[in-house]
Amino acid sequence: MSSPLLEVQGLVRHFGGVKALDGVDVGVWEGEVLGLVGPNGSGKSTLINVVSGQIPPTAGRIHLAGRDITGSPPHRISRLGLARTFQRPRPFSQLTVEENVLMGSAFGGNGAEDPRAVARETLEFVGLAEYASEPVTRLNLHQLKFLELARALATRPKILLLDEVLSGLNPTEVDESVEMIGKINQRGTTLVVVEHIMRVVVKLCNRVVVLDGGRLIAEGPPREVMADPEVRRAYLGTRYE
């Protein structure tokens, strides 16, 4: 594409006197895996929340596939092809595993496919088909993370925002999740990955952007960005730069 699939221009978000985002410009191109990193409180989750419509921006514009989605509600953004997961899984606890994914395919998709068929295919893809009729309370954290992925994927997104999808997992589960994220990208879904585990960022991401204090301070290939003195200073402080 000659222009980004997702483009954020001058994005600002204030919470009272706190500038959680302070003029952020980011483009995400079709097919790539973009890493979004930075120390705690840098604005990563706020950026995901604003782009996905969870909270409105104070200023700036957001375009998805050339369409202005600034301030649109989450359900409209989802139907235009953008989905997201949450750091802490948010299943519908009263529903079965399949019914949770069906919520994504029935209400978040574009209506072009049979929602139940999409839900079943997606559960098969993430390895949860055998749990389809089980209540979600039977799933462990790792399985709940995959359920989050399945529900988002069932909307058939062009771009998927992953907010610390690996948090709380053991090393084996992290490796399995990284493999799954790679498969999602190979199927043609563009990804934005918020992550703290740098070995994962280097392995998965084509490009990385770094936020600090709500500002973008670095952008480029993962290894080059991690060697940037300003990035090291943001993570470790001036003493260890």
What is the average per-residue pLDDT within 156-179?
A: 93
Alpha-carbon distance 79 to 21, whole Å? 26
DSSP 8-state secondary structure symbol assigned to residue 48:
H
Instruction: Work out the pLDDT band at 236, boundaries 50, 70, 90.
Output: low
Instruction: Work out the pLDDT band at 3, boundaries 50, 70, 90.
Output: confident
Q: Residue 240's pLDDT is what? A: 41
Cα 176 vs. chain centroid, distance in angstroms? 17
Q: At what angle do helices 97-107 and 115-126 cross, to 10 degrees?
A: 130
Give the CA dihedral 191, 193, 198, 202, nearest 10 degrees.
Answer: 10
Q: Is 100 within 8 Å of 91 (Cβ atoms)?
A: yes
Residue 235 has pLDDT above 80, yes or no: no
Q: Residue 241's pLDDT is what? A: 44
The answer, as to whether pTM is greater than 0.75, is yes
Complete domains list, the chain, with CATH: 1-81+157-241 (3.40.50.300), 90-156 (no CATH)
